[in-house]
């Protein structure tokens, strides 16, 4: 049915003005979109969420929503198939499920991991074939590899103090809180903080007792050591591949760090690096200005150095990661006559040896572990 337009001149005038305004708004929107594309490059979208890259080609945002159950399921398949004709990579399995479900991990995610894993093991498919139709699989694989890249692999470990080293494959990252020291926590990522200025809490708080030994989650370089008015006494450790920056804050007043730790030191996953406290929220150093004793543990992803500080920082929700890392807690013992604790069982990792050799070749000894 044809609808005739009204012929009232005043109506036509209002309609014409309204059309011009609508057109102008649309033009402005198109121009704004063009500016965004020019500044930030092409992005991948899924379910209305920006997923992938800036104009420079590196990932600019990661929502790490992997459930504890999914982490455990994928990890088990990885370890159980190591050395077998078909070795399942846990990051690939997680990326497949994420791409399939838009980054969401429901209660059925662990079941989905099992389904695809069994098909691959039965040689009905491969992970690449299964993921071929999932346009965001490569994004999730790179993003999740950045989060979990230092967690699983080959290493050597003592099974008794002072004993021989045994070759192993599996979880080589540790809980940030030493074995035998309990803590409480909940998922507090993103909640409001007001000290200094209103901001989000971009880390995970683990409440415990003053002096609780704090552990290096992954091997790497000490990149930051000292006072920060928000984090108090804090340590920043960068993974050897540069992708992960681990942040440990609110350490103990007067004696926050392992005795010989300094910027540039190389630490091995499982080493004692510091001690829990409640320093911070003060421009004056060495002040306990936080009510609750706790470790603020943060994990920042860095795909490009421009993301290290400023508005482009990527911080990950670590709640499920710390639950998963509870599987591997570093056993420690007190050094008599001191305030120090040391790990009981030493670990060797190839990457640590390589980085120590590089430091020796530089001739400075700055990176040599003490």
pLDDT at 188: 83
Structure tokens at 182: 């309990």
The residue-averaged pLDDT of 188-209 equals 76
Q: How far is CA 82 from CA 85, 157, 297, in A?
A: 9, 18, 31
Q: How many helices (H) and strands (E) does the chain have?
A: 8, 18
- Concatenating the DSSP letter of every residue in 243-293 gives SEEEEEESBPSS--B-TT--TT-EE-TT-EEEEBB--BS-SSTT-B--SS-
pLDDT of 23 > 50? The answer is no
The 10s digit of each residue's pLDDT in 309-367 is: 988 899 999 999 999 999 999 999 999 999 999 999 999 999 999 999 998 888 755 55
pLDDT at 3: 34
pLDDT at 364: 58
The 10s digit of each residue's pLDDT in 247-266 is: 999 999 999 999 999 999 99
| Terminal-residue alpha carbon distance, the chain | 86
The residues spanned by each domain of the chain are 68-148, 174-360
Residue 218 DSSP label: S
Mean pLDDT of the chain: 86
The band of 197, judged by pLDDT with boundaries at 50, 70 and 90, is low
The residue-averaged pLDDT of 100-127 equals 97
Fold of 174-360: Glucose Permease (Domain IIA) (2.70.70)
The band of 190, judged by pLDDT with boundaries at 50, 70 and 90, is confident
Q: Which residue has the higher pLDDT, 54 or 175?
A: 175
pTM comes to: 0.84
The band of 57, judged by pLDDT with boundaries at 50, 70 and 90, is confident
């Amino acid at each position: 049915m044809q609808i005739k337009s009204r012929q009232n001149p005043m109506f036509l005038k209002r309609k014409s003005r309204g059309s011009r305004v609508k057109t102008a708004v649309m033009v402005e929107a198109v121009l704004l979109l063009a500016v965004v594309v020019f500044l930030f490059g092409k992005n991948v979208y899924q379910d209305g969420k920006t997923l992938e890259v800036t104009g420079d080609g590196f990932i600019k945002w990661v929502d790490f929503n992997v459930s504890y159950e999914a982490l455990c399921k994928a990890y088990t398949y990885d370890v159980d198939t190591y050395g077998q004709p078909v070795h399942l990579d846990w990051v690939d399995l997680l990326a497949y499920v994420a791409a399939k479900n838009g980054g969401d991990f429901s209660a059925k995610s662990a079941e989905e991991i099992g389904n695809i894993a069994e098909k691959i093991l039965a040689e009905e498919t491969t992970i690449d074939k299964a993921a071929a139709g999932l346009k965001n699989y490569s994004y999730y694989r790179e993003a999740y590899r950045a989060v979990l890249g230092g967690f699983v692999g080959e290493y050597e470990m003592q099974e008794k103090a002072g004993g021989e080293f045994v070759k192993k494959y599996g979880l080589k990252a540790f809980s940030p809180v030493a074995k035998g020291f309990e803590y409480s926590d909940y998922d507090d990522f993103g909640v409001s903080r007001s000290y200094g200025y209103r901001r989000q809490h971009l880390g995970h708080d683990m409440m415990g007792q003053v002096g609780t030994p704090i552990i290096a989650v992954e091997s790497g370089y000490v990149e930051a050591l000292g006072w920060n008015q928000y984090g108090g006494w804090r340590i920043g450790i960068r993974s050897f591949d540069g992708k992960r920056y681990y942040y440990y804050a609110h350490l103990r007043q007067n004696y926050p760090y392992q005795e010989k730790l300094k910027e540039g030191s190389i630490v091995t996953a499982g080493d004692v690096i510091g001690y829990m406290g409640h320093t911070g929220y003060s421009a004056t150093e060495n002040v306990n200005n936080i009510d609750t004793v706790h470790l603020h543990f943060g994990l920042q992803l860095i795909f490009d150095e421009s993301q290290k500080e400023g508005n482009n920082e990527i911080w990950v929700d670590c709640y499920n990661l710390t639950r998963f890392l509870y599987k591997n807690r570093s056993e420690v013992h007190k050094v008599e006559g001191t305030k120090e604790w040391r790990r009981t069982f030493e670990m060797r990792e190839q990457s640590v040896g390589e980085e120590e050799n590089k430091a020796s070749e530089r001739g400075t000894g700055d990176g040599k572990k003490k």
